[in-house]
């Protein structure tokens, strides 16, 4: 009950974020333009295939993962840290809420806000695609939505968790952007670096299997893995590999590893955030 009260209040507040709706407009325009070029000029965008809704799904996933990660940071970095910094948390916690009610309420409220924005964006995007292609595979779209909502939940959880670790928004910003930069931009070099160190500061002929696991750590990579496991036929029909595990012979080299990675990101940062928030003097 307490969690729901906080979530409702938080949704009403965060849904009015101008930055969120600004970002949504940019991404809707971008996705419509890209969908248009994917359908009209398939050779430019994805050579060697006929445009299909399935292909479009994986194509859209790339844009969506960028949109979700950026908006999650913009909408959620202040979730707890911002309230602590300006003092509205005193109104919140003068009422009978546990700190975990506050944290989960924030999580639900911000997830609802992001899901709403995403639903609007995807409705426009897929509506446009349907108009261009003349057909729409409902099951494919629904599975895509399920995977995307999971991914959204994960990113919101990560950023809310980060926000709960500190009472300073500038620190929360640094941590959230740092997370994004390290895991979504720089991560490619980490497996290579790890192998380099593990191999006595030289690179082996062949990369060991465990580097595959390290590569799967970024949430957006895990999201693609999840999509691949949910839509195997669609993934197979594409000319490019959506999943990098093909050449690796290990029990974990399956797309389903994405679920494990997402579960990790869903739980661990939030747990750390809760631990820090619970013990904090406001």
Give which of 110, 154, 108, 149 is closest to 263, Cα–Cα. 154
Apex 272 CA angle, 17 and 154, nearest 5? 50
Residue 138 near another protein by CB under 8 A: no
Contact partners, residue 216, CB within 8 Å, separation at least 6 = 222, 225, 257, 258, 261
- Give dist(CA 121, CA 131) in Å, integer: 15
Residue 6 near another protein by CB under 8 A: yes
Q: Angle formed by the axes of helices 53-76 and 219-230, to 10°?
A: 150
Binder of another protein out of 90, 127, 189, 197 (CB under 8 A)? 90
| Stretch touching another protein by CB under 8 A, among 28-36, 86-94, 121-129, 246-254 | 86-94
Residue 95 near another protein by CB under 8 A: yes
Give which of 20, 279, 70, 10 is closest to 166, Cα–Cα. 279
Binder of another protein out of 44, 94, 138, 246 (CB under 8 A)? 94
Residue 2 near another protein by CB under 8 A: yes
- Pattern 250-279, another protein, x by CB under 8 A: -----------------------------x
Chain positions 98 to 117 lying near another protein, rule: CB under 8 A, are 98
| Stretch touching another protein by CB under 8 A, among 60-68, 89-97, 132-140, 221-229 | 89-97
**Contact call for residues 265 and 154 (beta carbons, < 8 A):** yes
Residue 9 burial (C-beta neighbours within 10 Å; 0-12, 13-18, 19+): middle
Instruction: Please provide the DSSP assignment of 40-61 as one string.
Output: H-HHHHSTTS---HHHHHHHHH
For the CB of residue 11, give the shortest distance to another protein in the complex, in Å: 11
For the CB of residue 88, give the shortest distance to another protein in the complex, in Å: 4
Instruction: Identify each DSSP E strand in 18-164 by its residue range.
Output: none
- Pattern 13-42, another protein, x by CB under 8 A: x--x--------------------------
| Stretch touching another protein by CB under 8 A, among 87-95, 116-124, 152-160, 201-209 | 87-95
Measured from the CB atom, is 95 or 267 closer to another protein? 95
- Give dist(CA 252, CA 212) in Å, integer: 9
- The residues that touch another protein, with contacts defined as CB under 8 A, are 1-2, 4-6, 8-9, 12-13, 16, 86-88, 90-91, 93-98, 279, 281-282
């Amino acid at each position: 009950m307490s969690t729901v009260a906080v979530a409702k209040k938080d949704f009403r507040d965060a849904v009015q974020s101008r930055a969120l709706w600004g970002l949504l407009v940019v991404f809707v325009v971008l996705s419509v333009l890209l969908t248009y070029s994917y359908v009209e000029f398939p050779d430019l965008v994805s050579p060697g295939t006929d445009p299909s809704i399935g292909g479009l799904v994986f194509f859209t996933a790339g844009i969506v993962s960028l949109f979700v990660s950026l908006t999650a940071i913009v909408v959620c970095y202040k979730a707890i840290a911002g309230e602590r910094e300006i003092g509205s948390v005193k109104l919140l916690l003068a009422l009978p809420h546990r700190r975990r009610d506050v944290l989960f309420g924030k999580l639900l409220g911000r997830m609802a806000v992001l899901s709403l924005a995403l639903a609007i964006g995807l409705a426009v995007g897929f509506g446009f695609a349907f108009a261009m292609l003349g057909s729409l595979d409902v099951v494919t779209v629904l599975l895509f939505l399920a995977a995307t909502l999971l991914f959204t939940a994960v990113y919101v959880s990560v950023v809310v968790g980060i926000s709960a670790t500190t009472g300073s928004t500038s620190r929360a910003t640094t941590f959230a952007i740092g997370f994004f930069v390290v895991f979504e931009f720089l991560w490619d070099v980490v497996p290579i670096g790890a192998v380099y160190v593990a191999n006595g500061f030289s690179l082996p002929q062949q990369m060991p299997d465990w580097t595959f696991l390290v590569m799967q750590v970024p949430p957006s990579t895990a999201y693609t893995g999840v999509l691949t496991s949910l839509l195997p036929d669609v993934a197979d029909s594409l000319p490019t590999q959506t999943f990098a595990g093909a050449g690796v012979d290990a029990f974990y080299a399956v797309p389903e590893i994405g679920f494990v990675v997402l579960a990790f990101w869903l739980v661990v940062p939030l747990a750390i955030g809760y631990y820090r928030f619970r013990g904090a003097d406001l």
